[in-house]
Amino acid sequence: MTTDGGGWTVIHKSYGENVNFHRKWVECENGFGDINGQFRFENQLRFHNGKKFTTFDNDPCSKNCALLNRGSWWYYTYNSCDLTSSGKVKPIWGHINPVVKSVMMLRKS
């Protein structure tokens, strides 16, 4: 991507509810979706720093947050952000609820 000087790798893109992010660990690890549409490869807000990425079949949280939120994310007891929730639980980012479009990108510094 050429945004802000380029060098970005897009790891997540979502708009609407066409892609189900409620996936098994291996699917998130390998990536899924359409590279030209919505997809995910495998610092959110401070509450999520250091948290392990979780899916419904690989979730260290005693409450199985990935199953409860129908997504795959770096869950914490209090979810102040989750761009992958689906069903009755909508994607959120802090006070933005619901999030309609989202893109996550990484770049080496």
pLDDT of 70-81, one tens digit each? 888 887 765 677
Closest CA to 84 of 13, 30, 32, 10: 13
Q: Give the mean pLDDT per block of 10 residues along the chain (109 residues).
A: 80 76 84 72 60 82 80 73 78 81 83
pTM for the full model?
0.65
- pLDDT value for 46: 59
Domain range 3-106, CATH class: alpha beta
Our measurement of the distance from residue 74's CA atom to the centroid of its chain's CA atoms, rounded to an integer in Å, reads 8
- pLDDT value for 39: 59
> What are the domain boundaries of the chain?
3-106
